[in-house]
């Protein structure tokens, strides 16, 4: 192929050219804006080089929201295409690319950074720490994720997007059946982002184990911190499998290896096994932090301590363990025989037990409480029944014999949206609204928030409930079109209507941010929700060093006890604080990774080899570098505290 | 809350109107295997409905009774760590439900993976169903005929499908006769089906396999044994034989209409069976041994 032809889009389409123009204009606008307002220096000093967990959290948040809209546009396009029989809005190839990128973007580039946004912001504050254990690695994690996401997103306009589904099953994803560079993008951009996630996993485990405030024993950690801890434990066990699977897949695609081909001894189902050994724990990586958010929100707005704290902890540990024992249920229909299927059916259904326990514990937390219907609480309340439907349909899917009928149908699509959307998206919106005042020092508008909530909840159900029926009626997933005779038409149209409702809901959230930035009162206390955990004990917005003096803790809800029983949590005497220095290296290294990935995707060997050496050089340099950070003097802290106390 | 219940109500009515005209295919079985899965699905729907209703009821009760606007200003909720009683109940109930469903699952899974109930005495008829981008090839070794994109089967006779693929993983699925199974290029899987009633049924590949996936369907016609025998005779007499060259052409990616041949491709392109081809998961005998 001609050198430049490879960068062209294999399936030109007005929509793709339009997005090309849109991306170009956005980039120009950003560069022009930064230059005009002279913000390059500010951007570099305050954000690109930051190692502050709070700022990294906010950057994760912004990227996650951007990706939410990117994946959301894909979703709308899919529902528009299938809204009527024999529709010609998208052709088969374009539709295949759209559902593939929708899945990858939503799981890897939206949900993952969203949970890391909240973890980054909240966990160090909840455990009374000044930062994470390895602040610079934390910045590297973020930038690797960000560059992976950017690399994946340019695939639409440079060379073509992956089109083999987010599960990317071989041999379909192999060179024989997928000739464009799309799947190369998949392999390398997820790899780069995944390395970032793995680093985060190690970072947070260390942080939570080593940096808790004095007195905070493991069984005194707030529930969100517990879920963050267990989530990162799953990350550390699951992500290496993904790393290896992607590495083998890259070998197959770039170097003609035969790990997953069906000739020369390769095994297509090996990919499926490796993918789901990572992929199933991955869904619990997404859901557990959500459980943590709900535990905090429900307990705060019911004015009650969490019911059954110990069973809650036990059940998340059990879920994390079981999550590794169920991956085979993703291919019950592979012909592995009734014995294997029975075993995995039982382990799968067993997950419903700890999950059910949690649902009842949340209900019992509200019991005898004093429930306030704030926006975060509304999402948490809506989560319970919707997620229950998602959970029970999961048990239905787990029954192997019945799964032979649900497998690969819209029933499955309905099920996992019924778990992931209330389980991750609602939780993240709840967490976002809940911790927003702590992040930015003002609150989001409740009225607009409630409008958005109703559009999202109603729109969600209208979109996904019909899919249970079309699935049982024989509609397979990933079909770009169907004939009128199938009878799938009316329910698919209803789904499209629901999707528009969802889109309006998300647009209202954007409007809410805009509105609140302009009009919301900055004069709020540091604890506007009357909350219970330690992050609310410091100022809003939080100073660089989090807490002027390290808190001392002797209960699960240290801050609540402090408020109710006047138990002191802070020592009076301020001492100098040691903080890490900002660094541009994580950002620069990640940029190198971006170009490295791009070179490999297009098999440009010379730059790929040089950049590999550059990356190794960076690591070698870093291992010899001496950087002891800096100290904040007592005087500085006192001044900051005085200033902030005036505000909050 | 009122808006919500009105919405839920109208939603259910709409769904009933939209789906009420015809039964859903999976729940409208025409053979013993689909009957088994349909029963399992109904059992699970009933069990799960109880749980969903219980959670909804508890949630609504708690929200109404303990909402802040209903309570005196000075009410301070109690600190409750937990309760041995309640916690035992909320652990025990899910455990019992899962145990019951596990029994149902294991039993029915063995059932649909074996010769269909009621047909154990009969010798099953073997049909090789292989997929290529984006077609289905049906080889009838005993009858020595082959069809493309349509499948005729006799009623009241167990059929053993041998599934494999020339290309990406596909999934062979006739919802009204039974659940699906993968067809892969490096091994042969076995699917047991039977049709109780004559009729025409929808069959398709259910696993995404690239550009032509949506149209990767086939028509299934079940007919009495006599009619089936007549059709086989007719094919033997009138259809042209399948040659290797012709079959190679059929394997080219694309869509084709329905085609009929005498002879099968099994003679010159054998399926990936036996100990040396791939990893045998669906073993050729029913003992379901694994040869890796």
- ipTM of predicted assembly, 2 dp: 0.91
Query: Which residues in chain B touch residue A465, judged by CB atoms under 8 angstroms apart?
Result: 11, 15
Judged by CB atoms closer than 8 Å, whether chains meet at A473 and B26 is answered as yes
Size of interface A-B (CB pairs under 8 A): 290
Query: Which residues in chain A touch residue B108, judged by CB atoms under 8 angstroms apart?
Result: 399, 401-402
Average pLDDT along chain A: 93
pLDDT band at A555 (very low <50, low <70, confident <90, very high): confident
pLDDT surpasses 90 at A18: no
Record the tokens describing residue A458, joined without a space. 């109603």
Q: State residue B182 phi and psi, 5-degree precision.
A: -70, 145
Strands (DSSP E) contained in B194-272 are 199-205, 217-223, 259-262
B-chain residue closest to A333, CA distance: B181
N-to-C CA span, chain A: 63
pLDDT surpasses 60 at A547: yes
Average the pLDDT over B250-271 and give the result: 94
pLDDT band at B292 (very low <50, low <70, confident <90, very high): very low
Please state the length of chain A: 648
Q: Which residues, in sequence order, are bridge partners of residue B189? A: B163
pLDDT surpasses 60 at B121: yes
Query: Which residues in chain A touch residue B279, judged by CB atoms under 8 angstroms apart?
Result: 267, 269
Share of chain A above pLDDT 70, in %: 98
A-chain residue closest to B185, CA distance: A262
Per-residue exposure over A626-644, b if at least 16 CB sit within 10 Å of its own CB, e if not = eeeeeebeeeebeebbeeb
Judged by CB atoms closer than 8 Å, whether chains meet at A370 and B202 is answered as no
Q: Smallest CA–CA separation between B208 and chain A, in Å?
A: 7
Q: What angle in degrees, to the nearest 10, is found between the helix axes of A53-82 and A489-519? A: 150
What does the pLDDT read at residue A648?
47
Average the pLDDT over B174-183 and give the result: 96
pLDDT band at B13 (very low <50, low <70, confident <90, very high): low
User: What is the number of other CB atoms lying within 10 angstroms of the CB of residue A95?
Assistant: 24
What does the pLDDT read at residue B7?
56
pLDDT surpasses 80 at A568: yes
Q: Please tell me the distance from the alpha carbon of residue B176 to that of residue A284, in angstroms, as a whole number.
A: 34
Closest CA to A141 of A60, A189, A196, A59: A196
Judged by CB atoms closer than 8 Å, whether chains meet at B186 and A177 is answered as no
Q: Which of A337, A409, A478 to mutate to test the interface with B (most CBs of B within 10 A)?
A: A337
Q: Long-range CB contacts (< 8 A, 24+ apart) of A548-554?
A: A548/A574, A548/A637, A548/A640, A548/A641, A549/A573, A549/A574, A549/A575, A550/A128, A550/A213, A550/A214, A551/A128, A551/A213, A552/A213, A552/A214, A552/A215, A553/A128, A553/A213, A553/A214, A553/A215, A553/A216, A553/A220, A554/A215, A554/A220
Of A92, A309, A405, the CB nearest to B214: A92
User: What is the number of other CB atoms lying within 10 angstroms of the CB of residue A573?
Assistant: 7
pLDDT digits (tens, 9 = 90+) for A600-638: 999 999 999 999 999 999 999 989 988 889 999 999 999
Q: Which of A272, A474, A475, A479 to mutate to test the interface with B (most CBs of B within 10 A)?
A: A474
Closest CA to A361 of A406, A409, A423, A316: A316
Q: Which residues, in sequence order, are bridge partners of residue B202? A: B219
Q: What is the dihedral of CA A155, A68, A388, A116, to 10 degrees?
A: 90
More confident residue, B279 or B230: B230
User: What is the number of other CB atoms lying within 10 angstroms of the CB of residue A473?
Assistant: 24
A-chain residue closest to B87, CA distance: A308
Strands (DSSP E) contained in A313-436 are none
Judged by CB atoms closer than 8 Å, whether chains meet at B75 and A472 is answered as no
B-chain residue closest to A462, CA distance: B11
What does the pLDDT read at residue A39?
87
Q: Which residue has the tokens 């029913």?
A: B286
pLDDT surpasses 80 at A645: no
* SS3 of residue A406 by DSSP: helix
B248 Cβ neighbours under 8 A, 6+ residues apart: none
pLDDT digits (tens, 9 = 90+) for A425-480: 999 999 999 999 999 999 999 999 999 999 999 999 999 999 999 999 999 999 99
pLDDT surpasses 80 at A646: no
Q: Please tell me the distance from the alpha carbon of residue A524 to that of residue B273, in angstroms, as a whole number.
A: 72
Q: Please tell me the distance from the alpha carbon of residue A518 to that of residue A499, in angstroms, as a whole number.
A: 29
B-chain residue closest to A392, CA distance: B48
What does the pLDDT read at residue A348?
96
B-chain residue closest to A382, CA distance: B59
pLDDT surpasses 90 at B43: yes
Q: Please tell me the distance from the alpha carbon of residue A38 to that of residue A452, in angstroms, as a whole number.
A: 35
What does the pLDDT read at residue A287?
95
Average the pLDDT over A481-508 and give the result: 95
CA distance readout (Å), A51 to A56, A58, A120, B67: 7, 12, 11, 42
Q: pTM higher than 0.90 for the full model?
A: yes
Query: Which residues in chain A touch residue B80, judged by CB atoms under 8 angstroms apart?
Result: 304-305, 307, 368
Average pLDDT along chain B: 88
Judged by CB atoms closer than 8 Å, whether chains meet at B77 and A473 is answered as no
* SS3 of residue B198 by DSSP: coil
Judged by CB atoms closer than 8 Å, whether chains meet at B281 and A334 is answered as yes
More confident residue, A492 or B279: A492
CA B146 to chain CA centroid, nearest Å: 24
Record the tokens describing residue A266, joined without a space. 């390769």
* SS3 of residue A518 by DSSP: helix
What does the pLDDT read at residue A513?
96
Average the pLDDT over B73-98 and give the result: 91
Of B44, B90, B288, the CB nearest to A338: B288
Query: Which residues in chain A touch residue B171, judged by CB atoms under 8 angstroms apart?
Result: 333, 407-408
More confident residue, A363 or B23: A363
Judged by CB atoms closer than 8 Å, whether chains meet at A401 and B109 is answered as yes
* SS3 of residue A632 by DSSP: strand
Judged by CB atoms closer than 8 Å, whether chains meet at B48 and A395 is answered as yes
pLDDT band at A643 (very low <50, low <70, confident <90, very high): confident
Judged by CB atoms closer than 8 Å, whether chains meet at B14 and A335 is answered as no
Average the pLDDT over B171-196 and give the result: 95
Q: Please tell me the distance from the alpha carbon of residue B274 to that of residue A519, in angstroms, as a whole number.
A: 73
pLDDT surpasses 90 at B178: yes
Residues B202 and B133 sit within 8 Å (Cβ to Cβ): no
Judged by CB atoms closer than 8 Å, whether chains meet at A469 and B24 is answered as yes
């Amino acid at each position: 192929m001609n050198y430049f032809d490879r960068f062209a889009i294999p399936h030109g389409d007005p929509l793709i050219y339009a997005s090309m123009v849109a991306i170009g204009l956005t980039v120009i606008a950003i560069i022009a804006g930064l230059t005009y307002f002279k913000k390059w220096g500010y951007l570099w000093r305050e954000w690109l080089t930051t190692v502050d967990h709070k700022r990294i959290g906010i950057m994760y948040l912004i990227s996650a929201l951007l990706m939410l809209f990117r994946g959301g546009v894909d979703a709308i396009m899919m529902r528009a295409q299938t809204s009527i029989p024999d529709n010609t809005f998208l052709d088969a190839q374009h539709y295949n690319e759209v559902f593939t990128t929708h899945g990858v973007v939503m799981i890897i580039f939206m949900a993952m950074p969203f949970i890391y946004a909240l973890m980054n912001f909240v966990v160090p504050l909840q455990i009374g720490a000044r930062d994470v254990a390895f602040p610079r690695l934390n910045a590297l994690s973020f930038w690797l994720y960000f560059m992976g996401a950017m690399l994946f997103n340019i695939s639409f306009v440079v060379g073509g997007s992956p089109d083999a589904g987010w599960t990317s099953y071989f041999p379909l994803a192999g060179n024989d059946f997928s000739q464009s560079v799309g799947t190369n993008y998949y392999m390398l951009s997820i790899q780069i982002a995944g390395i970032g996630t793995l680093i985060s996993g190690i970072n947070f485990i260390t942080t939570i184990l080593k940096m808790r405030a004095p007195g905070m024993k493991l069984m005194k950690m707030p529930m969100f911190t517990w879920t963050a801890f267990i989530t990162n434990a799953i990350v550390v066990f699951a992500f290496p499998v993904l790393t290896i699977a992607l590495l083998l897949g890259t070998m197959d695609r770039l170097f003609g290896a035969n790990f997953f081909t069906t000739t020369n001894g390769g095994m297509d189902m090996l990919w499926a096994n490796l993918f789901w050994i990572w992929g199933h724990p991955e869904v619990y990586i997404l859901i557990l932090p959500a459980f943590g958010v709900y535990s905090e929100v429900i307990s705060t707005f019911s004015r009650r301590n969490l019911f059954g704290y110990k069973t809650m902890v036990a059940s998340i540990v059990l879920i994390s363990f079981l999550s590794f024992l169920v991956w085979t249920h993703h291919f019950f229909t592979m012909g592995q025989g009734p014995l294997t299927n029975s075993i995995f059916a039982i382990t799968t259904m067993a997950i419903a037990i700890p999950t059910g326990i949690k649902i009842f514990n949340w209900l019992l937390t509200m019991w005898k409480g004093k429930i306030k219907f704030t926006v975060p609480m509304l999402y948490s309340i809506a989560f319970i029944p919707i997620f229950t439907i998602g959970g029970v349909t999961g048990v239905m899917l787990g029954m192997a014999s019945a799964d032979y009928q649900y497998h690969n149908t819209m029933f499955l699509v309905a099920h996992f949206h019924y778990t992931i959307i209330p389980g991750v998206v609602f939780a993240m919106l709840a967490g976002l609204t809940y911790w927003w005042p702590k992040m930015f020092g003002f609150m989001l508008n409740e009225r607009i928030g409630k409008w958005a909530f109703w559009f999202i909840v109603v729109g969600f159900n209208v979109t996904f409930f019909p899919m249970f029926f079309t699935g049982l009626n024989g509609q397979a997933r990933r079909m770009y079109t169907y004939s009128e005779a199938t009878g799938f038409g009316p329910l698919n149209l209803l789904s499209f209507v629901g999707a528009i409702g969802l889109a309006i809901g998300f647009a209202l959230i954007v409007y809410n941010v805009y509105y609140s930035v302009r009009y919301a009162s900055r004069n709020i206390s540091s604890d506007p929700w009357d909350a219970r955990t330690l992050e609310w004990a410091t100022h809003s917005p939080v100073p660089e060093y989090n807490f002027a003096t390290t808190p001392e803790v002797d209960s699960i809800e240290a801050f609540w006890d402090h408020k109710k029983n006047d138990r002191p949590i802070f020592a009076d005497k301020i001492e100098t604080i040691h903080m890490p220095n900002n660094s541009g290296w994580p950002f620069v290294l990640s940029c190198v990774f971006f170009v490295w990935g791009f070179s490999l995707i297009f098999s440009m060997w010379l730059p790929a080899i040089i950049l590999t050496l550059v990356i190794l050089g960076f690591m070698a340099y870093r291992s010899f570098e001496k950087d002891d950070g800096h100290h904040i003097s007592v005087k500085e802290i006192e001044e900051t505290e005085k200033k902030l106390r005036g505000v909050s | 809350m009122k808006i919500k219940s009105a919405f839920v109500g109208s939603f259910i009515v709409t769904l009933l109107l939209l789906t009420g005209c015809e039964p859903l295919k999976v729940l409208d079985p025409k053979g013993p295997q689909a009957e088994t899965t349909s029963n399992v699905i109904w059992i699970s729907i009933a069990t799960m409905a109880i749980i969903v209703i219980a959670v909804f009821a508890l949630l609504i009760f708690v929200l109404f009774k303990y909402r802040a606007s209903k309570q005196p200003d000075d009410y301070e909720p109690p600190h409750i760590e937990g309760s041995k009683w309640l916690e035992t109940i909320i652990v025990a109930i899910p455990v019992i439900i899962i145990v019951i469903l596990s029994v149902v699952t294991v039993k029915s899974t063995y059932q649909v993976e074996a010769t269909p109930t009621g047909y154990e005495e009969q010798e099953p008829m073997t049909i090789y169903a292989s997929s290529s981008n984006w077609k289905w090839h049906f080889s009838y070794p005993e009858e020595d005929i082959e069809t493309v994109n349509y499948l005729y089967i006799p009623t009241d006779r167990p059929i053993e499908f041998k599934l494999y693929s020339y290309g990406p993983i596909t999934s062979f699925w006739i919802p009204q006769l039974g659940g699906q199974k993968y067809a892969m290029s490096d091994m042969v899987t076995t699917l047991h089906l039977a049709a109780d009633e004559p009729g025409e049924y929808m069959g398709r590949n259910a696993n995404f396999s690239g550009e032509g996936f949506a149209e990767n369907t086939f028509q299934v016609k079940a007919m009495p044994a006599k009619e089936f025998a007549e059709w086989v005779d007719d094919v033997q007499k009138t259809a042209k034989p399948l040659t290797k060259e012709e079959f190679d052409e059929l394997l080219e990616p694309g869509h084709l209409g329905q085609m009929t041949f005498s002879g099968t491709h099994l003679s010159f392109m054998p399926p990936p069976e036996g100990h040396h081809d791939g990893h045998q998961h669906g073993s050729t005998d029913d003992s379901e041994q694994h040869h890796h």
